[in-house]
Chain A
Amino acid sequence: MPALQDLILAGNRVQHHVPVPRAVVAPEIWTSATERLAEDHWTLLDLWGDRGTVHMALLDIKARYRGVISLECPDGRFPSVGRVHPPAIRLERAAADLFGLLPQGANDSRPWLDHGQWGLRSPLGDPMPASSESTRYRFLESKGENLHQVPVGPVHAGIIEPGHFRFTASGETIVRLEERFGYTHKGIEALMEGATLDRASKLAGRTSGDSTVAYAYAFARAVDVALGLEIPGRAAWLRVLMAELERLANHLGDIGAICNDAAFPLMHTHCGILRERVLRVCDGVFGHRMMRDQIIPGGVANDVSAEGQKLINSMVVEIRERFPDLIDLYDNTASLQDRTVGTGHLKANLAKQFGAGGYIGRASGRDFDSRRFFPYAPYDELNFEVPLLQEGDVNARVWVRIREVEQSLSLIEQILQRLPAGPHGVEISQANGPREASVLVEGFRGDIHVWIKIAEDGTIQRCHLRDPSWFQWPLLEAAIEGNIVADFPLCNKSFNCSYSGHDL
């Protein structure tokens, strides 16, 4: 059996694709890669379309190697990956909607992002006017006695994003959950085409509001490596500082929100206070609560003053003081533990198959963190642990978050102590011919994959952003099976996948 490296060597290496290789391969190699995926030797990192080409990013965990293979399909058809490797199904359906690339042999030919509202079909491939007849979206069937369906959404109570959930339940037990998304499709990939780096960076930062730093960071890193920019040390450290502050704020919010869904608002308010503390410090230091548009290609937008560092430091000290009490409260409230332990169990083999990132994978025994696995500066110089649990239930996902909060606090302290002096950015050099890059950046939900192609004139020719939720949403469907309907909000919150990042 060939290793991933050999497979890429067998193809036509594409020039100027950094930092990992990309090869245009023959259909046979594509199919054999598909089989290797189905046998769980490799992990699918991403699958996306382009005009007349389909790309697939692959990861070989054992060999610590990743690469991109591309298949040219001038007739708009390619051998389906989802046929044997389910994690690819939704990505294929999205590629079919956007580019009109049809996966051959796929089991599911329903549209995914296209709800028939665009007035166009395959807007990024060869746009065609949409057929006027509206086709009903058919949900998967469940057969059996005494089954009833509960449709939830897309409009929900409370302040959450839109998404439709179709439950089939037998009494209170969920037999099947099917999700339908695409309600927040903003056309980011279409807007990216021909955008200047400055505009594209802003667009990337608006993909998913709670991960704006992670997206801007991922995009900026892709541009940096594509153009071969040397990022000054201070800029690299400040980027990581923001990424960890974002992780800290989001995890604090999540821990509280999970408890709130078990009707325990005490944790929610206390965690909310801590999260608000982080956001206010970010506002004071960076000028924006969520630190939007702070990371730009070439460095960061603003330097952090000595006072700003003091502000962050005092916030870290305060959270370190108050957070342990909250952990005790969580751990010692029996009624709360009763809800979280054993609920929404995600099997380890599924987490592995889908390449689940972030706390979802790490709570189900998948030891992957792109900060550790493909370390980017300055994570290679910082000390941190990647928490790993095997239980895979709601409780485990809470605990991974708790441990990650502690790690983020320690990372922020280390960064503040060792922050190098120097400039906080460099001028962006003009692209010298077409450049491509594929990078992974760890957001709070997991690894975000960004693939960009910069044209000769320095604008973006094609940019693809893959949210970790692409592989996490399907796992929610699996984890909820056999649970009771009333536990869904709790499980859903413990996954906390992104709607906006997924719908793009």
Chain B
Amino acid sequence: MFLVLLLAPLLTGFVRKMKARLLRRQGPSMVQPYRDLLRLMRKEVVLADNASWLFRVTPYLIFAATWVAAALVPTFATGLTFSWTADLIAIVALLGSARFFLALAGMDVGTGFGGIGSSREVMIASLAEPAMLLIAFSLALVAGATQLSTVAAFMTSSAVGLRVSLGMALIALVMVAIAENARIPVDNPATHLELTMVHEAMVLEYSGRHLAMIEFASFLKLLLYMSLIACVFLPWGLVTVGSGPEAYAVGLVTYVGKLLIGGVLLAFFETAIAKMRVFRVPDFLGAALMLALLGTLLLFVSRSL
């Protein structure tokens, strides 16, 4: 649980560094996100006059929900302290409620940008969330449980083999992950253009520790999705319950290695592609939804696919 807290800013820092290097820039240091968080925590909060209690509470809610969701993912070992408590559907629900509050807070102050950001975010979410649920169903049909530890344990076993439905679920999950984390081509995390923002537009009014919470939550979210993809589709090196400390150490190293590979791939992808028009995003996510649906359908048609 604390591991994700420690690693999340580092992963974001790593992706930023990679992107900068790909653009032949020096780039900020990889630990810069930690410094940013510290700096924001120390700064005073500037609140709009008409901000309601909702606006002030939301950052903590978002952070808490995302943190819990991230802690539920078996990162390097199955059966971690927290993973028995809830399943994949709970993760989707936690992230969904975090987004719900963020969208409300975006509209709370009544600026034009917040409204634009919220409306775009909800448009994206309305397609990304069902896709995510369908992915969860596919996995559950294959593994026989929605419990992530069980899914991951099943994936490591030899019973899986190569399955079309899982391939589709993987692609769909990657697409959803890109949209959910506000990466290019859906959103640009590095932009300063208010009019093109999605996620950033909603949090424009936030400052100080509130902003730190929201930033931290988005770091966590990136880590969450990357861990999720890693644990479900690349489960090798995952430590099962009851192994010795050496196995845990190896598991940790493989986990960090997987994150590094994920970060490099993400940076390459983002550098090679431009952002798409806002109205293309539903097409993009619609494809994710269709793939997830097809994956589930195939499983109904034949359990071996």
Where the two chains meet, the residues of A that have a C-beta atom closer than 8 Å to any C-beta of B are: 148-152, 156-158, 167, 171-172, 259, 261-266, 269, 273, 333, 335-336, 338-339, 484-489
A484 in contact with B279 given A262-B274, A263-B185, A265-B271 (CB within 8 Å): yes
**With A and B bound together, what is the CA distance between A150 and B275 in angstroms?**
22
Selected A-B contacts with CB under 8 Å, 12 pairs:
A150-B113, A157-B194, A172-B116, A261-B193, A263-B190, A263-B196, A266-B22, A335-B185, A335-B276, A336-B274, A338-B280, A339-B276
Known: A151-B112, A157-B193, A172-B116. 7 other contacts (CB 8 A): A148-B115, A171-B119, A172-B120, A259-B274, A263-B188, A263-B190, A489-B193
**With A and B bound together, what is the CA distance between A425 and B70 in angstroms?**
72
Identify A339's interface contact among B22, B191, B275, CB under 8 A.
Answer: B275
Closest chain A residue, CB of each to CB of B115: A148
Closest chain B residue, CB of each to CB of A265: B23
- Decide yes or no whether B241 CB sits under 8 A from chain A: no
Q: How many Å from the CB of B112 to the closest CB on chain A? A: 4
A487 in contact with B277 given A263-B185, A265-B271, A269-B25 (CB within 8 Å): yes
- Binary contact track B183-199/A, C-beta < 8 Å → 1, others 0: 01100101111111000
Contacts of A158 in B (CB 8 A): 192-193
A263 in contact with B275 given A152-B195, A269-B25 (CB within 8 Å): yes
A339 in contact with B184 given A485-B195, A488-B195 (CB within 8 Å): no
Identify which of A167, A259, A263 gathers the most chain B CB atoms within 10 Å of its CB: A263
- Binary contact track B213-244/A, C-beta < 8 Å → 1, others 0: 00000000000000000000000000000000
Contacts of B191 in A (CB 8 A): 263
Q: Using a CB-CB cutoff of 8 Å, which residues 86-122 of chain B contact chain A?
A: 112-113, 115-116, 119-120
- Decide yes or no whether B162 CB sits under 8 A from chain A: no
Contacts of B280 in A (CB 8 A): 338
A264 in contact with B273 given A150-B113, A489-B193 (CB within 8 Å): yes
A338 in contact with B279 given A152-B194, A263-B184 (CB within 8 Å): no
Q: How many Å from the CB of A149 to the closest CB on chain B? A: 7
Identify A484's interface contact among B25, B113, B275, B277, CB under 8 A.
Answer: B277
Contacts of A156 in B (CB 8 A): 194
**With A and B bound together, what is the CA distance between A485 and B275 in angstroms?**
14
Contacts of B115 in A (CB 8 A): 148
Are B196 and A486 in contact, CB atoms less than 8 angstroms apart? yes
Q: How many Å from the CB of B12 to the closest CB on chain A? A: 17
Identify which of B185, B192, B194 gathers the most chain A CB atoms within 10 Å of its CB: B194
- Decide yes or no whether B278 CB sits under 8 A from chain A: yes
Q: How many Å from the CB of A263 to the closest CB on chain B? A: 3
Contacts of A172 in B (CB 8 A): 116, 120, 278-279
A150 in contact with B24 given A486-B196, A488-B195 (CB within 8 Å): no
Contacts of A259 in B (CB 8 A): 274
**With A and B bound together, what is the CA distance between A151 and B248 in angstroms?**
55
Are B275 and A262 in contact, CB atoms less than 8 angstroms apart? yes
Contacts of B196 in A (CB 8 A): 261, 263, 486, 489
Q: How many Å from the CB of B103 to the closest CB on chain A? A: 16
**With A and B bound together, what is the CA distance between A263 and B196 in angstroms?**
10
**With A and B bound together, what is the CA distance between A201 and B294 in angstroms?**
70
**With A and B bound together, what is the CA distance between A485 and B117 in angstroms?**
11
Contacts of A273 in B (CB 8 A): 24
Q: How many Å from the CB of A176 to the closest CB on chain B? A: 14
Are B195 and A264 in contact, CB atoms less than 8 angstroms apart? no
A263 in contact with B112 given A158-B193, A484-B279 (CB within 8 Å): no
**With A and B bound together, what is the CA distance between A266 and B184 in angstroms?**
13
Are A263 and B274 in contact, CB atoms less than 8 angstroms apart? yes
Closest chain B residue, CB of each to CB of A267: B274
A335 in contact with B273 given A149-B112, A266-B23 (CB within 8 Å): yes
